[in-house]
C-alpha cells in the first residue's frame, strides 16, 4: 500500500506565521499522498469580538450560533485555508483547499445533546472515500478546512481533530495511513508547564488515568479520543507533538506515539 499522511495542525500554529511556514515547508517536502487539516486559531475569535458576537467554548469545542457560523465559514474556509494553499503553491506543491461541502467530501448532522445546544456544530456521518481518492491520485495535496455539510444546504462547524481522524479512518483500507496531530506542545505532557515532561508513548490505560487526574483536559481530550479511535479502526500510526517539528514527528523521533 502507498503511504498517506493525514496531518492536522492546530490553531496556535495557524496563528504564528513563522511556525506555520516551518510546518508547511515540512508538509511540502513530503513525498506522495498527504492531506493537511487545519484548525481555526484566534482569527475567528478576534473577528467575533470585533463584530460583538459572544463566543462560548465547551471542552475545546466552539458553540456555533448563526452569526458565529458566518464568521468561521469566512475565516476557516476562506482566509486561513487559501493563505495556506498559496504558501504551499510557493513551495512548488500542487495544493487545493477544500471543505467537507466541496465534492461532497464529508457529510455530517447537526449535533444533538440533552443539555447543551452546540448550534451549527457537525458530527460526521460519512466520508466520501472515492472523492478523496480521485483527488489524491491526481497528485494533489489537499488542505481541509474544519467545515462539513449536512447534504441539505447547511454548512456545519466541525472539530478539526475529528475530521482528521475520520479521513484517516476512511482511507486506511486504501492506503498505509499515518495520522499526525501537530500543535503548540511537545506532545502529551505530565506537567503542562514543563516541555521536558513529554510522554514518549501513551496507551488507553494511561490516558484514562491522566484524564481522571485532570492532567489531560480541554482541547487535548478530543485529540486523544480521536487518536485511539483511529488506531482501533486500522490507522497505522498516530503521533501527537509540536507542529514546527513536523519532520521529526514524521520520522517518529519527537512527540507522543499513541498506542492501544
Structural domains in the chain, sorted by start = 3-258 (3.40.1160.10)
Q: Which of 130, 171, 117, 147 is nearest to 38 (CA)?
A: 147
Strand order in the sheet with 201-202: 95-98, 141-144, 33-38, 3-9, 176-183, 237-242, 256-258, 201-202
Tens-digit pLDDT profile for residues 141-183: 999 999 999 999 999 999 999 999 999 999 999 999 999 999 9
Tens-digit pLDDT profile for residues 92-114: 999 999 999 999 999 999 999 88
Does the pLDDT value for residue 231 go beyond 70?
A: yes
Does the pLDDT value for residue 57 go beyond 90?
A: no
| pLDDT computed for residue 14 by the predictor | 94
At residue 59 the predicted structure's pLDDT band, cuts being 50, 70 and 90, is: low
Place of cell 489524491: 136
Does the pLDDT value for residue 218 go beyond 90?
A: no
Amino acid at each position: 500500500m502507498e503511504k498517506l499522511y493525514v496531518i492536522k495542525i492546530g490553531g496556535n500554529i495557524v496563528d504564528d506565521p513563522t511556525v506555520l511556514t516551518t510546518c508547511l515547508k515540512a508538509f511540502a517536502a513530503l513525498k506522495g499522498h498527504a492531506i493537511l487539516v487545519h484548525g481555526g486559531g484566534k482569527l475567528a475569535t478576534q473577528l467575533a469580538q470585533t463584530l460583538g458576537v459572544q463566543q462560548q467554548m465547551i471542552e475545546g469545542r466552539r458553540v456555533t450560533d448563526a452569526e458565529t457560523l458566518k464568521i468561521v465559514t469566512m475565516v476557516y474556509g476562506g482566509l486561513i485555508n487559501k493563505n495556506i494553499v498559496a504558501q504551499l503553491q510557493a513551495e512548488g506543491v500542487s495544493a487545493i483547499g477544500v471543505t467537507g461541502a466541496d465534492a461532497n467530501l464529508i457529510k455530517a448532522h447537526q449535533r444533538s445533546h440533552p443539555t447543551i445546544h452546540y448550534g451549527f456544530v457537525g458530527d460526521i456521518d460519512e466520508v466520501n472515500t472515492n472523492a478523496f481518492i480521485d483527488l489524491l491520485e491526481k497528485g494533489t495535496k489537499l488542505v481541509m478546512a474544519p467545515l462539513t455539510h449536512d447534504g441539505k444546504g447547511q454548512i456545519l462547524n466541525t472539530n478539526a481533530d475529528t475530521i482528521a481522524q475520520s479521513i484517516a479512518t476512511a482511507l486506511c483500507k486504501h492506503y498505509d495511513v499515518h495520522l499526525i496531530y501537530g500543535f503548540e506542545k511537545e506532545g502529551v505532557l505530565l506537567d503542562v508547564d514543563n516541555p521536558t515532561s513529554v510522554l514518549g508513548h501513551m496507551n488507553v490505560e494511561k490516558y484514562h488515568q491522566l484524564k481522571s487526574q485532570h492532567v489531560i483536559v480541554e482541547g487535548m481530550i478530543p485529540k486523544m479520543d480521536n487518536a485511539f479511535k483511529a488506531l482501533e479502526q486500522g490507522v497505522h500510526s498516530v503521533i501527537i507533538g509540536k507542529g514546527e517539528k513536523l519532520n521529526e514527528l514524521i520520522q517518529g523521533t519527537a512527540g507522543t506515539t499513541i498506542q492501544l
